[in-house]
Amino acid sequence: MNIAMLGSGFIGRFYAESIQGQRSKDSIVSVYSRREESAKKFADDYQCSQWTTNMEEAIANPDVEMVCIALPNNKHEEAVLLCCKHKKAVITTKPLGRNAEEAKRMLIAVEEAGIFNGYLEDLVYTPKFIKAIESVKSGALGRILWAKSRETHPGPHSDWFWDIEQAGGGCILDLGCHCVEITRSYIGKDIKPVEVMCWADTQVKPIDAEDHGIALIKYENGSIAQFEVSWTFRGGLDLRDEVMGTEGTIWINSFLRTGFEMFTTGKGADYVAEKAESNSGWLFPVGDEVNELGYNHMFMDMFSSLEKGVDPRETFYDGYVVNAILDAAYKSAKTKLWEPVKLDIWRGQEGLSKPSNYAEYDADYYLVKEEMTHYGTKKLILKNKATGKIEERIID
């Protein structure tokens, strides 16, 4: 795959490491950057045959088969529309838009242009997530009741993230987009999100956007998702998921506790891991950061899907749904109320209701709980169907 990289900064370089290091047959042939020196440096580091400060020139390059957008949020729509104009396959970093209306315009544009589109949500491609979602889909956890995702760290790397006009929001948009798609995947992407309750505040940073947020998302089938996001967390990059079902539970710690621990005084120390705050003391390095953060599996899915002529696991439609959920979160943070998720385009199930909570014990009772006691007998907690009374039964 011959790729044009739009953006030469932190995320563009992460992408490049994966793109040119995984299949050994993909290459970045053109790079666009707003700064000439950055474009030249990127081109030199990744052996790109073309560098430019003109976005359309990079996209229109006849050698380019796919465009990868690694630009600030306010530049996504411009780049997507140019890809539509030149009929180039397009993949873009998260979030798709600064809000759902912007995301919807991009979704409609790529579909009307008939071009391949992929949403680069790397955290649903991490090895741990892939294993977990396979277990969920196989029914190992039963019906999913609750899914939680947490992403917190000391704040993003580039200046534009901290500017609410360029970014479109603060940590909820930057990190919540990951958490929403993770929890949505566990619950089922065809299950409709219906309303959101959110708290957000600017606790530490001297910015106009929020630096901390917590939200609950209700789904039509009765499942609930939760996210915690912050740019104020001290101690590195904390990525954690929890999933609870009627038959089981999954806990995932993706980054801060990696199973790799090291102590150093700092002499000779260098880069440890993304968002690490120190290079001395007890540290938690990551063995293969690009792989652990999902980039390898993500680009494999994008490239293979384009070659096969099918949709990737994550498309612009997914990015649009995420933006719609986050719009409701932002509104709720202001009104202090549950706010509905406004989805003008919905392609999942409709009219679901909450399943029955009751497990049958026999013709007369529902089973509330069964347990083995420490003294060797079985205890049953039952509900009488006729009277509604809760009863206890001991079985020797």
Tell me the CA end-to-end span of the chain in Å, nearest whole number.
67
Cα separation, 143 vs 24, whole angstroms: 41
Instruction: Tell me the pLDDT band of 284, cut-offs 50, 70 and 90.
Output: confident
At 198 the pLDDT is 98
Q: Identify the CATH homologous superfamily for domain 2-122.
A: NAD(P)-binding Rossmann-like Domain (3.40.50.720)
Q: Average of pLDDT values for 67-85?
A: 98
Q: Which amino acid is at 150?
A: R
Q: How far is CA 134 from the centre of its chain?
A: 17
- Show me where the domains of the chain are located: 2-122, 124-289+314-340, 359-395
Report pTM.
0.92
| Model confidence band, residue 77 (pLDDT cutoffs 50, 70, 90) | very high
* Assigned token pair, 22: 């995984």
What is the Cα–Cα distance from 120 to 96, expressed in whole angstroms?
9
| DSSP annotation of 76 | H
Say if CB 187 and CB 223 are below 8 A apart. Answer: yes
Give the pLDDT score at 265: 82
B/e letters for 341-362, b = 16+ CB within 10 Å, e = fewer, are bebeeeeeeeebeeeeeeeebe
* Higher-scoring residue by pLDDT: 134, 271: 134
Per residue in 148-197, pLDDT tens? 999 999 999 899 999 999 999 999 999 999 999 999 999 999 999 999 99
Tens-digit pLDDT profile for residues 218-237: 999 999 999 999 999 998 89
Cis check for the bond before 285: say yes or no (omega within 30 of 0). Answer: no
Q: What is the pLDDT of residue 161?
A: 94
As a whole number, the mean pLDDT across the chain is 94
- pLDDT confidence bin for 275, thresholds 50/70/90: low
CATH class of segment(s) 124-289+314-340: alpha beta
Structure confidence at residue 99 as a pLDDT band (50, 70, 90): very high
pLDDT of 286 strictly over 90: no
The pLDDT, as a whole number, for residue 262 is 78
283-293: burial string, b at 16+ Cβ within 10 Å, e else: bbebeebbbbb
Count of residues in the chain = 396
* Of 124, 176, 170, 158, nearest in space to 13 by CA: 158
- Comparing CA positions, the residue from 206, 196, 194, 195 lying closest to residue 170 is 206
Does 79 have pLDDT greater than 90? yes
Q: Omega into 95 within 30° of 0, i.e. cis?
A: yes
Fold agreement (2-122, 124-289+314-340): no
Distance CA 206, CA 371 (A): 53
